[in-house]
A and B are shown apart, each in its own frame.
Chain A
């Protein structure tokens, strides 16, 4: 997986609370058993004039020319709530979004981001508003820079602000690490647990 270290990109403000994974990618846009081909369905309900069409809705932020190539989303509270569908993160990533800044994230979405090299950075409402104000004045020139090592985000005239991310997720993103590989290194501990647990709770182990 790609490492996430320092990232600079156009940032798009989409500041509404409770943006759910149905909004990020509607179920109707998940048409094959694949992690690819999902970017076209990203925010489909808001991005296109009507359901089923691909005609851009001009007012939607990601359709505005100034936000072309956006790589960062500035968002509201409880971002990514709802369905566990990892397709939401796959669609964001394929579209080019590498980081979401929000006051809080839904837990499953947060984990899905980290598994796919997308940074979920927690930042309070006020600094997000400050970044948005600067960005909206000139989205193309006022790009946002995120430094994960330093846990800071800034834009010309705003910040730097320190954002929050748990140590585990930070490490995984910085190193581009694969969780399964890391876990398999713990095999002796897993084996010890299983041999003990099979004696203590035999009914758990089906044959």
Chain B
């Protein structure tokens, strides 16, 4: 299981990586490609990454979660051209009980969004394309 992959994300090995006899709670988050953004119809998108840093940052985030909670974490983010409904990112966190699993899973996806150098280019139904800038949306909020 690689942190950054150009292949479709397969959930089975991700879950298998964190399953263990002493872990009774497994929380999983999947980020999927949406067919709309700010009212515009999205046909597909492309993720690109600063791969060496993205891998390093994912490793740091997983290590932080595993130091903070008694969890095992698996994480994978896809790059390349993705279709609507494809899994863009998957996080699995397993612990003895659900509270720690949920907390670690939430921490990892939030930190991925905040810190991992990945960019998204959306291709719209009207034939145009644009780099997504989440900070612009924050200014509207």
The yes or no verdict on A and B being binding partners is no
Interface of A toward B, CB cutoff 8 Å: none
